[in-house]
Structure formats: structure tokens, C-alpha cells
Amino acid sequence: MIETNEPTNGQVVKQETPTRITTTMILEDLENGISRDGIKEKYSLETWMVTQLFQHPTLKGKKAKRIRKLPFEFVDDSAEQVDPNQTTIEGAIEEVETEEEFESFEEVEEFESNN
């Protein structure tokens, strides 16, 4: 069964403008679903400040992650259906080893019969 994430509304806890805002902080906010407007509200910034933040090469073009939840349970049942003609790696190795043992056994028998 595939677990789905709960959708986030990018809930913002408003705080005073910090003296230092890092790209990591902004990336984390975006990953948590907080949009540019949310970042503006969270850090008590003005629009031009947010625009300037997103001019930085690390943040340029980045957007808030949207998490959507399926309204139903989605189950992967394909793992239960196995093709009987499909070979596993272990099975292929065993086949090769068995063939090699059989060939070496034939060579010993042939050698013994000739001598």
C-alpha cells in the first residue's frame, strides 16, 4: 500500500524579521509548502525584499512544493503477480554452475574411459 501525505496549507507562524535569513531556511519553507507570500508574511518582509531573495541563483525559479492527497486508497498489487517464465538472478547463477559441473563431470568420464 502506498502511503499518501497530508496536504499542507503552508501554515505560517509569523515572526519578527530575523537579522539573518539563509537560502537553506527559504528552501526548507518551500519544501514545507510555504509560498512566496507565506515567506513574506512569516519573516515580516516587503514584496521587493522577497523578490530580491528569489534573485539569488540558489532560489531562482524555486516554488513551494504542492502536496496533494488522493481521495482514495491506492494499492500496488502488481508485486503479487509474478511471471512464471521469469528467471531470477540466483536461478540463472545456479543454472550456469550446474552446467559447468555437468560439463566437468563429462570430461572426467571421457578421460577415464580413454585410459
Q: Which residues contact 55 (CB under 8 A, 6 or more apart)?
A: none
- Together in a domain, 47 and 103: no
- What is the tens place of the pLDDT at every residue in 43-102? 999 999 999 999 999 999 999 888 788 888 888 877 666 666 777 777 777 777 777 666
Asked if residue 74 belongs to a domain, the reply is no
- Together in a domain, 8 and 47: yes
Task: Measure Cα distances from 37 to 87, 88, 91, 108, 111 in Å.
Answer: 54, 53, 57, 81, 85
Amino acid making up residue 85: N
pTM over 0.75: no
Cα separation of 18 and 45, whole Å? Answer: 10
Asked if residue 91 belongs to a domain, the reply is yes
Domain span at 29: 1-66
